[in-house]
């Protein structure tokens, strides 16, 4: 209860502080037009207080923390406001760098020796020139070059090269003074290089900065949480184990050539696997059914259910045949992306269609969506206990192994075997009758679907009458003992059992979005199709599905991004052992367990580059939908 209360107060205080910040920022920018000097003084004081608070919070300064914060607020306020009182531009231009140098000297004096940077001239020059070009080229192209903006970008490049990419603690105090003084001199020059704003200029400034008030915090978080860490990660990926010695593309080469990442040595076994043979048979059956149906329709191939269903299942089994033979971290990630994305989207679509307009729609959707409320770590723990296998002589506590061993013990007795055979025989007769019904009514999809469902039923019936079914084997004393399945230990299909966890979670996500899309399909289109004599299946495939295709593509790209970064489930259930390693977990292990910063950063960069195309596609599609 205490944690709940603390969370409530934390959320309340956060919302209150955010509201105060936005209101205060609006009131501050109200001063721009009529009280320009006061606006600059307050803005400078706030910037100085924030910068000093960051330095104090990271324990980078020595002496009194409160004194340092107050001093920074005062000197930044002076640096920002005094130049506005100087009318002559040449004096104002000289004042900014001079005052900035003084500010830099004061701040450098307070900095601890443990943060003295070792200046790397090459890195500094490259980033300064890059920042200058980044501003200059677009500014010159649009004829909006401003000396203040140019100097500000140079300041950013100087800070990135001199501080963020430097070896902190390896330099001297003089290097700290040099970098700090030049940083604030450039900042002062950027503030005073342009002409003083007149009344019209202050009005324009106020209008533009209103947008920045609301976008600024978000952009700041993007800068601190994405841009800067990304740049640092790419930089480290080009260096060695400790992130110091230059390695170039060596780490990326290791990812692509290491057999633990990509192992194609057993590729020829794909063509001899039973999954491959079964996949070809199903695809062949689907093509034959499509040709037969197409001949009746006067076409070469009719893409109806009798063609699509077995063909889709065959392609899916073909994917399993390929990825269960090829091994490696990158291969596992691709397997996750394809299987989880397709099954989550497909099952979500099926659930949305079946639950649409039924009496218990809300309850059914709530149950399917419920796993979305569980964290990946929590879901991994739940399913780990469901998959768990205890020693054969002990009772099984995992759900699936308890059922599996229970079936074995039931099938080993004559009474249980008779009951099982009777039930399966009835089911087989029912499926056969349904198949005959489909043949008489010329419904090929019903006929083939019934035959397909009967295959596992016939297999279970065969196992009951022959070798037996369930996890039981003969013990040392001749008595039956349990033989559990090692779901997460036996490869390569242990990867699939881990994928089930994410599919279980994400099916609800896909269902909710697709259900909303289905309900948004114009009713007049459906009514027009029914007037033309279309049945439910034809309405779905020819009207509903084409209409919701953009929504499906959005879900697919969102799932690709999510699945590509999968980490928690693998970390909790196997920690990447037993051939279940994925890129995110290997990145964690290389960086924080083996302390190989270079290779870990390279893996992080590869993961980022793999996610970017899907994210860009999603953003582009959303922009097009807004324009339309």
Q: Which of 288-302, 309-323, 496-510 has the highest mean pLDDT?
A: 496-510
- What is the per-residue DSSP string for 542-566? IIIHHHHHHHHHHHHHHHHHHHHT-
Same domain flag for 192 and 276: no
DSSP H or E segment with residue 145:
none
| Residues 595-609, mean pLDDT to the nearest whole number | 88
Which of 196, 215, 241 lies at the terminal end of a domain, its last residue?
A: 196
Question: What pLDDT is stored for residue 425 in this prediction?
Answer: 81
Whether the predicted model's global pTM rises above the 0.95 cut: no
Domain final residue pick, 196, 225, 252: 196
Per-residue three-class SS string for 428-462: HHHHHHHHHHHHHCCCHHHHHHHHHHHHHHHHHHH
Residue 591 lies inside a defined structural domain of this protein: yes
Question: For residues 427 and 291, is the Cβ–Cβ distance under 8 A?
Answer: no
Residue 231 CB burial class (10 angstroms; 0-12, 13-18, ≥19):
middle
Last residue within a domain, chosen from 196, 225, 242: 196
pLDDT of residue 582: 92
Percent of the chain at pLDDT above 70?
A: 90
What's 509's domain CATH number? 1.10.3720.10
Higher pLDDT, 500 or 450: 500
Mean pLDDT of 278-296: 79
* In a shared domain, residues 283 and 168: no
The answer to the question of residue 170 being in a domain is: yes
Residue 38 lies inside a defined structural domain of this protein: yes
Q: Say whether both 294 and 174 belong to one domain.
A: no
65-121 pLDDT, tens digit each: 788 888 888 888 887 777 777 767 677 777 778 888 888 888 888 888 887 887 778
> Per the structure block, which two tokens stand in for 397?
């506590």
Q: Is the pLDDT of residue 10 over 70?
A: yes
The mean per-residue pLDDT over the stretch 297-304 comes to 65
> Of the ranges 10-19, 66-75, 165-174, 551-560, which is most confident?
551-560
pLDDT at 628 over 70: no
Domain span including residue 538: 267-627
Q: Quote the number of domains for the chain.
A: 2
Q: What is the mean pLDDT of the segment spanning 459-481?
A: 69
State yes or no: pLDDT of 228 exceeds 60. yes
Domain presence at residue 522:
yes
DSSP 10-62: HHHHHHHHHHHHHHHHHHHHTTTTT-HHHHHHHHHHHHHHHHHHHHHHTT-B-
User: Would 308 be classed as within a structural domain?
Assistant: yes
Best CA proximity match to 243, nearest among 625, 610, 607, 600: 600
Q: Would you say residue 494 lies in a domain?
A: yes
**What pLDDT is recorded for position 210?**
72
Q: Is residue 171 domain-shared with residue 302, that is, in the same domain? A: no
Mean pLDDT on 534-557: 84
């Amino acid at each position: 209860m205490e944690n709940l209360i603390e969370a409530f107060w934390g959320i309340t205080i956060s919302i209150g502080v955010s509201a105060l910040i936005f209101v205060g920022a609006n009131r501050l920018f109200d001063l721009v037009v009529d009280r320009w000097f006061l606006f600059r003084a307050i803005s400078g004081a706030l910037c100085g207080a924030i910068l000093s608070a960051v330095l104090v919070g990271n324990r980078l300064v020595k002496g009194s923390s409160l004194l340092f914060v107050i001093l920074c607020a005062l000197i930044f306020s002076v640096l920002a406001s005094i130049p506005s009182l100087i009318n002559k531009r040449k004096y104002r231009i000289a004042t900014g760098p001079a005052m900035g140098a003084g500010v830099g000297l004061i701040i450098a004096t307070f900095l601890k020796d443990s943060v003295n940077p070792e200046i790397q001239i090459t890195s500094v020059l490259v980033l300064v020139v890059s920042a200058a070009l980044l501003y200059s080229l677009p500014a010159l192209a649009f004829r909006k070059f401003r000396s203040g903006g140019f100097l500000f970008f140079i300041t950013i490049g100087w800070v990135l090269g001199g501080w963020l990419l430097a070896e902190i603690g390896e330099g001297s105090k003089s290097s700290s003074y040099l970098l700090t003084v030049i940083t604030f001199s450039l900042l002062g020059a950027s503030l005073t290089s342009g002409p003083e704003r007149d009344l019209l200029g202050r009005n324009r400034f106020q209008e533009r900065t209103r947008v920045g008030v609301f976008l600024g915090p978000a952009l700041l978080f993007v800068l601190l949480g994405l841009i800067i860490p990304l740049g640092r990660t790419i930089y480290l990926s080009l260096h060695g184990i400790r992130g110091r010695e230059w390695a170039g593309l060596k780490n990326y080469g290791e990812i692509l050539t290491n057999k633990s990442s990509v192992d194609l040595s057993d590729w020829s076994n794909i063509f001899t696997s039973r999954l491959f043979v079964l996949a070809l048979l199903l695809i062949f059956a689907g093509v034959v059914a499509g040709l037969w149906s197409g001949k009746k329709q006067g076409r070469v191939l009719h893409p109806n259910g009798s063609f699509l269903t077995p063909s889709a299942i065959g392609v899916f089994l073909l994917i399993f045949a390929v990825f269960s033979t090829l091994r490696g971290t990158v291969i596992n990630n691709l397997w996750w992306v394809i299987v989880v994305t397709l099954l989550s989207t497909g099952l979500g679509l099926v659930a949305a269609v079946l639950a649409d307009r039924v009496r218990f729609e809300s309850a059914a959707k709530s149950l399917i969506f419920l796993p979305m409320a569980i964290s990946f770590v929590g879901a991994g723990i739940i399913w780990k206990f469901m998959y768990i296998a205890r020693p054969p002589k002990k009772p099984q506590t995992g759900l699936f192994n308890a059922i599996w061993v229970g079936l074995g013990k039931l099938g080993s007795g004559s009474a249980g075997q008779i009951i099982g055979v009777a039930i399966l025989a009835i089911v087989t007769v029912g499926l056969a009758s349904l198949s005959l019904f489909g043949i008489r009514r010329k419904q090929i999809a019903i006929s083939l679907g019934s035959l397909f469902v009967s295959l596992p039923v016939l297999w279970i019936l065969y196992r009951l009458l022959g070798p037996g079914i369930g996890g039981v084997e003969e013990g040392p004393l001749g008595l039956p003992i349990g033989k559990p399945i090692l779901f997460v230990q036996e490869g390569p299909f242990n990867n699939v059992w881990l994928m089930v966890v994410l599919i279980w979670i994400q099916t609800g996500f896909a269902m909710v979005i697709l259900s909303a899309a289905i309900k948004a399909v114009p009713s007049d289109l459906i009514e027009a199709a029914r007037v033309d004599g279309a049945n439910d299946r034809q309405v779905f495939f020819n009207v509903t599905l084409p209409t919701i295709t953009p929504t499906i593509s959005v879900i697919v790209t969102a799932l690709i991004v999510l699945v590509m970064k999968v980490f928690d489930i693998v970390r909790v259930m196997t920690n990447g052992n037993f051939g279940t390693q994925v890129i995110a977990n290997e990145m964690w292990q290389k960086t924080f367990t083996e302390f190989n910063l270079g290779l870990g950063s390279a893996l992080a960069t590869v993961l980022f580059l793999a996610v970017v195309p899907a994210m860009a596609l999603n953003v582009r599609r959303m922009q097009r939908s807004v324009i339309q």
